[in-house]
């Protein structure tokens, strides 16, 4: 990892980027001043943001463990982000060493770092792709090399769908996933909501819009609708820390919670 000068890799470093901002929220080092400046503005509006990012990662770990226990051995993590602590393959392969994992992100930095992280792991790979063309991701040769779509799979879209406004029709991405995966497959979603703090949500929406990264906070009902044909498993769509809580969640102050998470099943 040390050998690649990522900062000199021709990236649009003068514009804030959601993958690198999220890395900053999580305490990572792969971010530029423009990312940090906008992230700090968002944190000033909503000081719980860094905690929310960690809460979201904790949901990822719980969901992957749950899915392993349900017998899932194939995972597709779309909008996977820059590698951080507790990536999907680490959690899944700890429970099920034969688990296969494919990461996907639109951000080239995330893809490059992910590829480096996976060197020497024949059961995990990363593809560069755009969830707006999710059928191309699912048809990708490298994905098909690891994943048998004739067998159940878990698709994770965590912290991703709120980057699509209604005109992008994110529900159609999910519908295409539903139509492609085998019965017995699962879909996990976590999504920002401003149900608890609507005014802060509005200020953050404006901030992101101005920076060219539109964001759309959705209500509980709107997020539940995104699951389409997938049937929510217990406990349904709940505030992120409340989804099958375990010891790694800790006690979350109410004001910090700003999103919902759920896992759906394709019967
Ligand atoms: N899924 C990770 C998690 O929940 O911890 C990372 C979430 S991060 C907030 C959102 C990620 O989605 C970023 O890495 C970003 O590059 C990626 N992303 C944004 N638009 C995308 C698109 N159209 N297709 C695929 N990935 C996208």
Kindly state the tokens that stand for 69.
């226990």
Q: Report in angstroms the alpha-carbon separations of 257 from 24, 54, 197.
A: 19, 11, 9
Can you tell me the distance from the alpha carbon of 152 to that of 70, in angstroms, rounded to the nearest whole number? 11
Distance 80 CA to ligand 1 centre (A): 6
Angle, helices 18-25/108-117, rounded to nearest 10 degrees: 60
Q: What is the DSSP letter of 2?
A: T
pLDDT of residue 48: 86
Please state the atom number of ligand 1 nearest to the C-alpha of residue 190: 4
pLDDT of residue 192: 95
pLDDT of residue 3: 44
pLDDT of residue 246: 82
pLDDT of residue 1: 37
Mean pLDDT for each consecutive 10-residue tract of the chain (267 residues)?
Answer: 46 86 94 95 91 93 97 98 93 96 96 95 97 98 98 98 98 98 98 90 92 94 98 97 80 72 98
Q: Report in angstroms the alpha-carbon separations of 129 from 77, 102, 139.
A: 11, 11, 11
pLDDT of residue 107: 94
Pocket probe for ligand 1: among 20, 160, 204, the residue whose CB has the most ligand atoms within 8 Å is 160
For ligand 1, atom 21: residue with the closest CA: 106
Can you tell me the distance from the alpha carbon of 239 to that of 224, in angstroms, rounded to the nearest whole number? 12
Pocket probe for ligand 1: among 81, 215, 258, the residue whose CB has the most ligand atoms within 8 Å is 81
pTM score:
0.94
Kindly state the tokens that stand for 263.
């896992």
Ligand 1 binding pocket (C-beta < 6 A) is 18-19, 22, 56-57, 60, 78-81, 105-107, 110, 130-132, 158-160, 163
pLDDT of residue 8: 45
pLDDT of residue 252: 64
């Amino acid at each position: 990892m040390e050998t690649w000068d990522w900062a000199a890799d021709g990236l649009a470093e003068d514009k804030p980027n959601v993958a690198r901002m999220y890395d900053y929220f999580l305490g990572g080092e792969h971010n530029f001043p423009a990312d940090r400046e906008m992230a700090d503005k968002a944190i000033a509006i909503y000081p719980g943001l860094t905690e929310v990012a960690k809460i979201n990662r904790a949901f990822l770990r719980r969901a992957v463990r749950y899915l392993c226990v349900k017998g899932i051995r194939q995972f597709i993590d779309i909008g996977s982000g820059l590698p951080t602590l507790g990536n999907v393959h680490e959690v899944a392969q700890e429970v099920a060493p034969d688990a296969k994992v494919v990461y996907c992100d639109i951000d080239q930095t995330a893809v490059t770092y992910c590829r480096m992280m996976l060197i020497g792991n024949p059961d995990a790979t990363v593809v560069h792709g755009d969830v707006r063309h999710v059928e191309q991701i699912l048809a990708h040769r490298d994905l098909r090399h690891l994943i048998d779509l004739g067998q159940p799979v878990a698709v994770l879209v965590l912290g991703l769908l709120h980057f699509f406004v209604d005109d992008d029709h994110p529900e159609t991405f999910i519908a295409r996933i539903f139509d492609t995966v085998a019965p017995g497959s699962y879909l996990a979603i976590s999504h920002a909501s401003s149900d608890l703090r609507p005014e802060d949500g509005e200020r953050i929406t404006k901030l992101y819009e101005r920076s060219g990264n539109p964001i759309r906070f959705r209500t509980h009902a709107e997020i539940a609708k995104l699951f389409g044909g997938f049937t929510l498993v217990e406990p349904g769509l709940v505030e992120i820390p409340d989804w099958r809580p375990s010891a790694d969640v800790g006690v979350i102050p109410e004001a910090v919670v700003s999103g919902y998470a759920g896992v759906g099943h394709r019967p």
